[in-house]
Amino acid sequence: MDLYKHEEYYKIIGLCMEVHRVLGGGLLEAVYKEALEIEFKNHGISYEREKEFKIYYKESLLQKRFYADFVVCDDIILEVKATKLIIDENIAQTLNYLAITKNKLGIIANFSTKSLQQKRIVL
């Protein structure tokens, strides 16, 4: 099976798993984001944290912006969660981010479960 951006995907998930292995579950999202930032830096992986994106309605720029937790490797949206489980609203949010950015790959990583829970979303 040939996965879109499989190498980048596996690197990102591997780093998420390392953060989860070291910190465990039950902490705030901000803690996992900070730890992931350290891992991205240590592994030379390009990323932007809390990247702002503009939203347009037809040709009008809206005042409301959205902020992706991370944009990794220039075009992969990584959403970090610390909840009981990944729910439909998390998936809908990531799909919307992909549509707005025109990116094709989104990852939701949930750190609050016993094992890292992740969802790969491809447009």
Domains and CATH numbers, the chain: 6-122 (3.90.320.10)
Tell me how far CA of residue 66 lies from CA of 42, 63, 93, in angstroms: 27, 10, 10
Looking at residue 2, what is its pLDDT?
60
Question: In this model, does residue 53 exceed pLDDT 80?
Answer: yes
Pairing of strands 105-110, 60-72: unpaired
CB 80 within 8 Å of CB 72: no
Question: In this model, does residue 107 exceed pLDDT 90?
Answer: yes
Q: State mean pLDDT over 62-77.
A: 95
Rounded to two decimals, the pTM is 0.93
Six-digit token string for 48: 């932007």
Q: State mean pLDDT over 95-99.
A: 94
Question: In this model, does residue 104 exceed pLDDT 60?
Answer: yes
